[in-house]
Amino acid sequence: MALSISLRHLTKVFSKGKESFKAVDDINLDVQAGELVTILGPSGCGKTTTLRIIAGFESPTDGRVIIGGQDVTDQEANARDIGFIFQNYALFPHMNVFGNIAYGLKVRRIPSAEIGEKVTEVLDLVGLKGVEKRFPNQLSGGEQQRVALARVFVINPRVLLMDEPLANLDAKLRIYMLAEIRRLQKQLGATCIYVTHDQKEALAIADRIVVLNRGRVEQKGVPFELYANPESIFVADFIGQANIFRGRVEVVGEGQMDVSFYGHRLTVRCKQGGCFKRGEEVGLAVRPDSVKLGKPEESMLAGTVLSRIFVGDKMEYEIEADPGFLVHVFESLSREPWAYPEGTKVGITVDPRDVLALPL
């Protein structure tokens, strides 16, 4: 049976001498039973600390951790029935693969005949066979990763916590293991919190994403929602990429508003939370692939191509707009990517429907 996880006002302050640092700042989160939630954020945002508090490796300065309706804040890690996957796997170097996987079973006093069966079974599940006698340093990175997964899956934990489990694997293996982890998690039905700094990983694996910045929750939502409707400049730029322009609110209407932008008026949607006030400065976020290039005289703004990089599926342009700021534009292969060499005068146009107004 999977269990739900709730964090209530979770706060962690690290202090060293007179300096103190709020690594986790009043985090609230509810994870449904069986759900896979990704905590996403740049390094130092408090995501690993949050995970270690849920595991019981750290105790919070303030706030509660509730697993399956039960407050476990004061319980030790070994009483919480969790499985933790470490970034460096933390395989016991003095035990072979069998010893590593059997560890949790021995702690639970499972009879040794049954242990043997379960170890073989779980190795089969993660796609490793006949490596029981080998030691961790005799395995490749991918194999170590699978042993780490097997070691946790074999005790069938109700909560699965993963701290950047794929960070040490190469790109191709990472994509494969991502799918594997998702398959195994669903198969076991465990509730899973997965910490990563890689937005692509988060978008691919998560049922829901929580974006963390400087110890606080920036935004929560399903992956597409976060990509399509970021609520802050930070989220807009961290998930995908975004051009941020400055604009001023001129007219506020019903569910939409007019924003002035270098002599143009754009009518943009208001966020669900409500509109801005008249006269307020706002950030206008536009994805690079929503910006259209064209002839200067037919466009909103004119500019000069500073550089272009062909990355295979698209051309990435860097353009200096005439008012004096940089614009990133991605031209897909279907749209004449080679049309604008460096130094060319081009025009830039954005469709107001692709523009999001965000607080600066």
Kindly list the residues in this chain that would bind another protein in the complex (CB under 8 A): 14, 48-49, 52, 55-58, 76-84, 86-88, 90, 92-94, 103-104, 107-108, 151-152, 155
CB 110, min distance to another protein, A? 11
104 versus 215: smaller Cβ distance to another protein:
104
84 versus 98: smaller Cβ distance to another protein:
84
Backbone angles phi, psi at 227, to 5 degrees: -70, -45
CB 349, min distance to another protein, A? 45
CB 199, min distance to another protein, A? 21
55 versus 181: smaller Cβ distance to another protein:
55
Q: CA angle 349-352-358, nearest 5°? A: 115
Tokens of 255: 């569910």
Taking a C-beta distance cutoff of 8 angstroms, is the pair 123, 131 a contact?
Answer: yes
Could you tell me the strand order of the sheet in which 159-163 lies? 82-85, 159-163, 191-196, 36-40, 208-213, 216-221
CB 90, min distance to another protein, A? 4
Q: At 41, which amino acid appears? A: G
Q: At 319, which amino acid appears? A: I
Backbone angles phi, psi at 307, to 5 degrees: -155, 160
d(CA 206, CA 221): 10
Helix runs in 108-222, H state only:
112-125, 141-153, 171-188, 199-205
CB 294, min distance to another protein, A? 45
CB 156, min distance to another protein, A? 12
d(CA 85, CA 165): 6
82 versus 123: smaller Cβ distance to another protein:
82
83 versus 223: smaller Cβ distance to another protein:
83
CB 107, min distance to another protein, A? 4
The closest of 123, 125, 191 to 161, measured between CA atoms, is 191
CB 93, min distance to another protein, A? 5
28 versus 88: smaller Cβ distance to another protein:
88
156 versus 344: smaller Cβ distance to another protein:
156
What separation, in Å, do the N-terminal and C-terminal C-alpha atoms of the chain show? 44
100 versus 243: smaller Cβ distance to another protein:
100
d(CA 145, CA 148): 5
- The residues, any chain, with a CB within 8 Å of residue 4's CB and separated by 6 or more, are 30, 31, 32, 33, 67, 68, 69, 191
- The residues, any chain, with a CB within 8 Å of residue 263's CB and separated by 6 or more, are none
CB 326, min distance to another protein, A? 31
99 versus 296: smaller Cβ distance to another protein:
99
d(CA 257, CA 272): 13
